[in-house]
């Protein structure tokens, strides 16, 4: 029996409840969803599907918690302490959290335990510290006789909606700055991967985050719609597909909510002829197949300068053939399954259509034969696709890349920018002037030079163009969850101010 199946047997099957206030509750209508382990296809757990009544209850709790000041009126230092305690709790529970994430998402255990969860701990510690550094521009007398002060205030009840690819990390990327700034939260994880987010709720209560400050509702689109339409939710922070982002903009329009949108990507990976080819090939495999390619910043469009194309392709395909696909519970596994059968069929559809349109598969393109169960797909390298084709233009969100040639620097920039997305890009060269020129010309929120993927808590992450707006990570993210108030105090005490005559009376 593979280890993940054994673990699954051990962890007793249960229906996971939602966190509203300080209580673990069922949906009022008791509707549930069954979750499968993507590596085995076997039943893993059952979760509730929150409907409008459940969402209303969660928002009511969050609103009460916001308005009575049990969190928003705490000093930044007190909020920081609670977040730092939560980070410690997560660290103490790293192994079980990583195992749960591996079982629910199908991601390799080494990525969950040495990547996602430790990074989430670091993010929380960063935002805990950052809570004490919120600032505005200077305060002074800008008009004679009036003192102006800038206050940065929490927005209120914030709805957080997360995707399935990095469930725990995305929950923390959103909840940590929202809470650090003093907001209260209703968090909705993806319907497919809610388990570690529910664990986050349990640890938050243990860490002393007051009841009602962090509420977690599970469910899919219906739950998300209720949250985005609720009049008492003042902001929606969303990470997910660009098309869902557009729907949410429409859903939030009638109540004019502040929106923060972290959407899809289609990252170019541009290799100039003077690049360190060995480093570029290594970076290409890591950048493309991380998390089975289910990563919004994953390298998906490879543009390689003509003179080194053949050499790059030979080395790249050889390395891709060495990726160890398999049971995600094994430390040696590089690539696990896709998150669901639905996602596998989606990815498969993209590959079939690309091949039909004339692209060539240099590696992969199919379901691997060695797995009887689980939602596996081979790492896939395509070539000879048209720049205008679907496989180059649309986000696949799976282990599929396209490699295309380019002639010179202007063409590399033009091809790199020629998509509707603008999340992340990388370029590979030893020429420092070219690196500077090309990184300036690329229309992406993050540009890496001679690497692809790394992010840090201190630096912003977010898209240009249809990859969205607003930043995750960094002080910029903290500011997203605040609103600025100008407080103006009359300082002379005189009854009749110098300017009053413009409205009433004589000068």
> Which parts of this chain interact with ligand NAD (CB under 6 A)?
161-165, 188, 190-191, 220-221, 224-225, 228, 239-241, 244, 247-248, 251, 262-265, 296, 395, 397, 423, 463, 467-468, 472
Q: Is residue 296 annotated as part of the catalytic site, yes or no?
A: yes
Q: Which is nearer to ligand NAD, 85 or 257 (CB)?
A: 257
Alpha-helix residue ranges (DSSP H) falling in 27-145: 52-67, 76-92, 94-105, 109-111, 117-130
Q: Considering the complex, state which of residue 236 and residue 304 has its C-beta at the smaller distance from ligand NAD.
A: 236
Candidate list 49, 60, 199, 262, residue with the active-site label: 262
Q: Is 262 marked active-site?
A: yes
Least distance CB 465 / ligand NAD (angstroms): 12
Under DSSP, the state recorded for 114 is I
- Pick between residue 166 and residue 406 the one whose CB is nearest to ligand NAD: 166
What is the 3-state secondary structure of 123-162?
HHHHHHHHHHHCCCCCCCCCECCEEEEEEEEECCEEEEEC
Nearest to 396 by CA among 467, 298, 303: 298
**Shortest distance, CB of residue 290 to ligand NAD, whole angstroms?**
12
- Least CB distance to ligand NAD at residue 50 (A): 11
Of 128 and 468, nearer to ligand NAD (C-beta) is 468
Which residues lie across from 400 on neighbouring strands? 380
Residue with tokens 């300017």: 499
CA separation for the pair 478, 404 (Å, rounded): 39
Closest CA to 449 of 276, 331, 332, 251: 276
Structure tokens at 211: 């009841």
Both tokens of 49, joined, read: 């599907």
**Burial degree of 164 (CB within 10 A; 0-12, 13-18, 19+):** buried
When the beta carbons of 54 and 395 are compared against ligand NAD, the nearer one is: 395
User: C-beta of 165: minimal distance to ligand NAD in Å?
Assistant: 5
Taking the least distance from each CB to ligand NAD, the nearer of 20 and 308 is 20
Instruction: Quickly list DSSP for 175-225.
Output: HHHHHHTT-EEEEE--TTS-HHHHHHHHHHHHTTPPTTSEEE---SHHHHH
Minimum CB–partner distance for residue 249 and ligand NAD (Å)? 10
How far is it, in rounded angstroms, from Cα 128 to Cα 226? 30
Nearest distance in Å: CB 145, ligand NAD: 47
Active-site positions? 262, 296
């Amino acid at each position: 029996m593979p280890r993940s199946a054994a673990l699954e047997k051990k962890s007793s099957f249960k229906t996971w409840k939602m966190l509203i206030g300080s209580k673990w509750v069922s949906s009022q209508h008791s509707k549930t969803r069954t979750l499968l382990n993507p590596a085995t296809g076997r039943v893993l757990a059952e979760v509730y599907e929150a409907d409008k009544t459940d969402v209303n209850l969660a928002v009511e709790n969050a609103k009460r918690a916001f308005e009575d000041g049990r969190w928003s009126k705490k000093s930044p230092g007190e909020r920081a302490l609670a977040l730092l305690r939560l980070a410690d709790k997560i660290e103490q529970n790293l192994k079980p959290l990583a195992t749960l994430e591996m079982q629910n998402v199908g991601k390799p255990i080494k990525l969950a335990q040495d990547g996602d969860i430790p990074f989430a701990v670091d993010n929380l510690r960063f935002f805990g510290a950052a809570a004490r550094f919120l600032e505005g521009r200077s305060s002074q007398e800008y008009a004679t006789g009036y003192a102006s002060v800038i206050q940065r205030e929490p927005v209120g009840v914030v709805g957080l909606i997360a995707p399935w690819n990095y469930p725990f990390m995305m929950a923390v990327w959103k909840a940590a700055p929202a809470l650090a700034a003093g907001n209260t939260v209703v968090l909705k994880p993806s319907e497919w991967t809610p388990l570690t987010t529910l664990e986050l709720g349990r640890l938050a209560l243990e860490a002393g985050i007051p009841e009602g400050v962090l509420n977690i509702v599970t469910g899919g689109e219906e739950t998300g719609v209720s949250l985005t339409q609720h009049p008492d939710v003042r902001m929606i922070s969303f990470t997910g597909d660009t098309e869902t982002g557009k729907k949410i903009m429409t859903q939030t329009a009638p109540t004019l909510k502040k929106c923060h949108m972290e959407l899809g990507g289609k990252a170019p990976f541009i290799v100039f002829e003077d690049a360190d080819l060995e480093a570029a090939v290594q970076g290409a495999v890591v950048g493309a197949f991380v998390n089975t390619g289910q990563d919004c910043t994953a390298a998906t469009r490879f543009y390689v300068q003509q003179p080194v194309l053949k050499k790059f392709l030979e080395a790249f395909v050889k390395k891709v053939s060495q990726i160890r696909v398999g049971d995600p519970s094994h430390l040696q596994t590089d690539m696990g399954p896709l998150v669901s059968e639905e996602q596998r069929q989606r990815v498969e559809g993209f590959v079939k259509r690309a091949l039909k349109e004339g692209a060539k598969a240099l590696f992969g393109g199919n379901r691997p034969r060695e797995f009887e169960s689980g939602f596996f797909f081979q790492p896939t390298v395509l070539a000879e696709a048209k720049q205008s084709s679907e496989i180059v233009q649309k986000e696949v969100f799976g282990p599929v890349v396209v490699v295309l040639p380019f002639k010179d620097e202007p063409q590399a920039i033009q091809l790199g920018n020629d998509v509707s997305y603008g999340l992340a890009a990388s370029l590979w060269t030893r020429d420092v002037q070219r690196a500077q020129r090309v990184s300036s010309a690329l229309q992406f929120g993050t540009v890496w030079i001679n690497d692809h993927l790394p992010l840090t808590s201190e630096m912003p992450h977010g898209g240009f163009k249809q990859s969205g707006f607003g930043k995750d990570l960094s002080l910029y993210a903290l500011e997203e969850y605040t609103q600025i108030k100008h407080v103006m105090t009359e300082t002379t005490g005189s009854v009749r101010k110098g300017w009053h005559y413009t409205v009433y009376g004589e000068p």
